[in-house]
Amino acid sequence: MLEIVQIPVLQDNYLYLIYEPKSGQTAIVDPALEEPVIAEVEKRGWALTHIINTHHHWDHVGANEALKERFGLTIIGPKADKDRIPGIDICVDEGDQITLGDAVADVYFVPGHTRGHIAYHFAEADALFCGDTIFSMGCGRLFEGTPAQMWHSISKLAALPDETLIYCAHEYTTANGNFALSIEPKNAALVARMADVAALRANGKPTVPTTLGLEKKTNPFLRPMSAEIQHTIGLAGADLTDVFAEVRHRKDNF
């Protein structure tokens, strides 16, 4: 069974160490910085063998070259963005699989936040590493993609099992939830989740990972079919892509 360790860095980034005990292979997902990763693997006596990148932003690839130099590891990243991923060795795309010892992850192409963004799903561990695509109660900004692309990408990930653990790359939950409440105030699951989030944050605890099942109930970017959201934003009965686009637009200006 995989061991997954969350490393908080910078203001609100999460890095994830993934350790496969049988082989000892160890990956770091989206290393923004080098020192916290080195400290964590040394503490645990693990040897870093892979970097797994979801997209090219500096807060996801910042330590690629330094870690490669130090550990001689292999860097796996999105084929569509290969020229923007420092040190990339293995380019992957929708339908590909990667392995970490005995563990296998399916790769999903999820453009929207960036045009080459991918996600990795370790089915046996129910673990999804989706970078800046789905956040707890939010989604990534559309820097390089269209709302239609992002809605398609999110819909693809939403088809995974409800118990899927979503290891997203940022702790944006409180701000996301405040926006969610502004357009769906009568959603009881959302109100309850916000109380849980407030308690976790008051104790300095992460709200991530979340689960896909919980996101389907509380995340407005997975809920353009919600009658309340459609009503609030004046798009009752509209096309789901148009609802999604308007929700994203409103969040950008919230």
- Between the CA atoms of 191, 192, 197 and 202, what dihedral angle is there, to the nearest 10 degrees? 100
Separation of alpha carbons 182 and 241, rounded Å: 20
Q: Which is nearer to Zn ion, 50 or 57 (CB)?
A: 57
- Per-residue x/- mask for Fe ion, residues 23 to 62, rule CB under 5 A? ------------------------------------x---
- Residue 57 contacts Zn ion per CB under 5 A: yes
Q: Which is nearer to Fe ion, 59 or 246 (CB)?
A: 59
Respond yes or no: is residue 113 known to be catalytic: yes
Separation of alpha carbons 231 and 64, rounded Å: 45
State which of positions 96-135 bind Fe ion (CB under 5 A): 132
Respond yes or no: is residue 60 known to be catalytic: yes
Interacting span for Zn ion (CB under 5 A) from 127-135, 159-167, 214-222, 242-250:
127-135
C-alpha distances in Å from residue 46, one per residue of 7, 15, 23, 40, 200: 15, 16, 11, 9, 29
Respond yes or no: is residue 83 known to be catalytic: no
Picking from 99, 120, 98, 118, the residue whose alpha carbon sits closest to that of residue 110 is 118
Task: Tell me the two tokens of residue 105.
Answer: 């992850």
- Cis preceding linkage at 209, omega within 30: yes
Q: Which is nearer to Fe ion, 132 or 171 (CB)?
A: 132
Closest CB 132 distance from Fe ion, rounded Å: 4
- Which residues are bridge partners to 159 per DSSP? none
Q: Which is nearer to Zn ion, 19 or 120 (CB)?
A: 120
Respond yes or no: is residue 55 known to be catalytic: yes
Footprint on this chain of Fe ion (rule: CB under 5 A): 59, 132
Q: Which residues are catalytic?
A: 55, 57, 59-60, 113, 132, 170
